[in-house]
Amino acid sequence: MSTAAVRQRLDQALVERALAPSRERAQALIASGLVEVDGAAARSAAMQVTAAAGVRVLGRDHPWASRGGLKLDAALDALHIECRGRICLDAGASTGGFTDVLLARGADLVYAVDVGHGLLDGRLASDPRVRVLDRTNLRTLQTVPGPSPDLVTLDLSFISLRLVMPAVVNLAARPADVIALFKPQFELGREAVGRGGVVRNASLAQAAADQFLQWMSATFGARVLHEPLQAAVRGAKGNQEWITHVRLDGEGVAEPGI
The backbone torsions φ and ψ at residue 217, rounded to the nearest 5 degrees and listed phi first, read -65, -45
Query: Helix/strand/coil (H, E, C) string of 150-172?
Result: CEEEECCCCCCHHHHHHHHHHHC
Of residues 24 and 199, the one with the higher pLDDT is 24
Q: Where are the domains of the chain?
A: 3-57, 68-248
111 strand-pairing partners: 89, 131
Q: Is the pLDDT of residue 150 over 70?
A: yes
Q: What mean pLDDT is predicted for residues 28-47?
A: 87
Q: Which of 22-31, 102-111, 163-172, 225-234 has the lowest mean pLDDT?
A: 22-31
Q: May I ask the CATH class of domain 68-248?
A: alpha beta
- Would you say 246 and 215 are in contact if contact means Cβ atoms under 8 Å apart? no
The pLDDT assigned to 232 comes to: 80
- Would you say 14 and 35 are in contact if contact means Cβ atoms under 8 Å apart? yes
Q: Is the pLDDT of residue 256 over 50?
A: no
The backbone torsions φ and ψ at residue 99, rounded to the nearest 5 degrees and listed phi first, read -55, -45
Q: Which of 102-106, 108-112, 207-211 has the lowest mean pLDDT?
A: 207-211
Of residues 233 and 56, the one with the higher pLDDT is 56
Percent residues over pLDDT 70 in the chain = 87
The pLDDT assigned to 251 comes to: 57
Tell me the per-residue pLDDT of 164-197, one tens digit each, with 9 for 90 and over: 999 999 999 999 999 999 988 777 666 556 566 6
Give the CATH fold of the 3-57 domain.
Answer: 3.10.290
Nearest by Cα to 248 from 157, 102, 148: 148
H or E element in which residue 28 lies: helix 23-31
Its pTM stands at 0.76
Q: Is the pLDDT of residue 155 over 60?
A: yes
H or E element in which residue 113 lies: strand 109-113
